[in-house]
Amino acid sequence: MVFESVRTDRGCVSYLIGCTRTSAAIVVDPELSQVDRYLAIAAQQGLRIRYLLDTHTHADHFSGVRPLARRTGALSVMHQLSPAPFVDLRVEDGETILVGELRLHVVHTPGHTRDSICLIAPGHLLTGDTLLLGATGRTDLPTGDAEALYESLFGRLLGLDGLLRVHPAHNYKNLPPTTLDEQKATNPRLKPRDPAAFVAMMRGLSLEMPEHLTEALRTNQTGGKTVAQIIDEAAQHIPFMTMQELRRRIESGAPGIAVLDVREADAYAAGHVPGAIHLPRGQLELRADAVFPDPTVRILAYCEFGKISTIAAATLRTMGFRGAIALDGGIRAWKEAGFPLEPTESTRPPSRS
């Protein structure tokens, strides 16, 4: 059996488990930023990824299941209560997933979320966010339930073989894995107490809301794309120009490219790249033909930070403007570098704020 863990800087942990006899593999809780890494590990180990499993609906990071499924053809697996419409294989408590000759047993452990599951692999227990090393998952996010978590921990997990090694979906302090027995002896949340005391303890935790909570729930529940994914995909389809190159061209008096400011009117009026044409992103598709009657024209789009202009340039390319590119950076950095603006500081009307 191959058992590899991949940990991100933010403490998310995912696992690639492979059957060496058949070369089939599963990735548990893949994280969006690590998609190439799982593919690289599978290739290095001679494994073919067959299944992609989320132990629950993640609220604090972006699942890599959808992009990995597109690239591998693997099936996505979640508990039957998962709200995600794209799940191929919905599993329930007591069922077994066959990964080649490996058998992974599903234990439904609601509490952190309603759709949380743990997986028992030979010698290993993948606990998702139900049981962490020295802690448990929180129960104050959507579908969380402290009473259900009590039952999942004390009624289910602690009854399993104590020699199983515990592998959670988060390991913020990069602690080494321990056995279930060791967790039972040392994890303060597993101290024997009655359900009411456990619920009171969980409700008394005052935890900050995760960053990107709504974006993570939106993308993980629907299979939609993150904002960063949309920008990254646009960036893959266009070239860029550095600020230094654009400045050199402007100062030469013959830039050889139409400079397009896609910000809102007041931002444009407050100072723009000399000679820039104004066409806000919101009107781009509707007015592009009027502004650029020649589709072969070279166009350089820019915005405040360089993100919206990336999408704008990619949109122009899909419309047939094959010479559309974006500024590498935004006008914020342009200003900070002391590069020329129009109108100049002295001729600019006073700002409205």
List contacts with Fe ion (CB under 5 A). 129
CB closest to Fe ion, residue no: 129
- The alpha carbon of 256 is separated from its chain's Cα centroid by a whole number of angstroms, namely 39
- Which strand ranges, in their side-by-side order, compose the sheet holding 299-302? 240-241, 324-327, 299-302, 258-261, 277-278
Least distance between Fe ion and beta carbon 209 (Å): 13
Q: Which residue has the tokens 């408590």?
A: 93
Q: Give the C-alpha separation, 325 to 46, whole Å.
A: 40
Shortest spacing between CB 21 and Fe ion, in angstroms: 33
The residue (of 208 and 345) whose beta carbon lies closer to Fe ion is: 208
Nearer to Fe ion, 129 or 261 (CB): 129
Tell me the closest approach of the beta carbon of residue 238 to Fe ion, in angstroms: 35
Q: How far is the CB of 93 from Fe ion (least distance, A)?
A: 19
Cα distance from N-terminal residue to C-terminal residue, the chain: 64
In angstroms, give the least distance from the CB of 35 to Fe ion. Answer: 19
Q: Compare residues 115 and 129 and give the one whose CB is closer to Fe ion.
A: 129
**Nearer to Fe ion (CB atom), residue 124 or residue 138:** 138
Cβ proximity to Fe ion: between 129 and 328 the closer is 129
Residue closer to Fe ion by CB (options 81, 333) is 81
Q: How far is CA 137 from CA 8, 96, 120, 148, in A?
A: 18, 24, 18, 12
Cα 171 to Cα 16: distance, rounded to the nearest angstrom: 16
For residue 142, the minimal CB distance to Fe ion (Å) is 11
Please state, in angstroms and rounded to a whole number, the distance separating the CA atoms of residues 274 and 89. 56
**Helix (H), strand (E) counts: the chain:** 12, 18
**Those residues with Cβ within 8 angstroms of residue 208's Cβ, 6 or more apart along the chain or in another chain:** none
